[in-house]
Structure 1
Amino acid sequence: MSGKVNELKPGEKAPASGQYQEIGPLGQEGHEVTVVKGEPLPPTTTAGSTYTIVDRTKNKSGLG
């Protein structure tokens, strides 16, 4: 894992509502999931993967 600031681990609470993309351990892009602010991010499909937000919701909960 590269340790980038925007990487979120599965189970962490989402800082903002929106679309999160799974990023594999080698940097490959995976599927996207919709998560509501404050809810935990779901398990990833590959061990060592993380999430990064790609599209914030266009309302107050998308501000983060």
Structure 2
Amino acid sequence: MPKTFKPGETAPRSGQYEIVGPRGGRTGIERTVVRDEPLPPTKAPGQRFILTDPTKTK
């Protein structure tokens, strides 16, 4: 299972973060987040983020 991040946590890397449900089910909803910025709120309680597509530029 990939590492998950809570809404409001600082993003460790820039890229596309997908929202996953409380039991790990993927929603297909992605958000673009820049490194060191907070992750946005989710639509339902218990949801988290996983990094699905990190940015390839430095």
TM-score scaled by length of structure 1 = 0.81
- Aligned residues, how many? 57
- Cα 1:45–1:53 change in 2 (3 A) is same
Instruction: Give the one of 19, 24, 28 matched to 2:21.
Output: 24
Q: Which has the higher strand share?
A: 2
Other-structure match for 2:50: 52
Which of 9, 12, 27 is equivalent to 1:12?
A: 9
Shift >4 Å, 4+ stretches:
none
> Gaps spanning 5+ residues in structure 1: where?
none
Map 1:34-45; keep pairs closer than 5 Å.
34-45=32-43
TM normalised by structure 2 equals: 0.89
Q: Which runs of 5+ in 2 are unaligned?
A: none
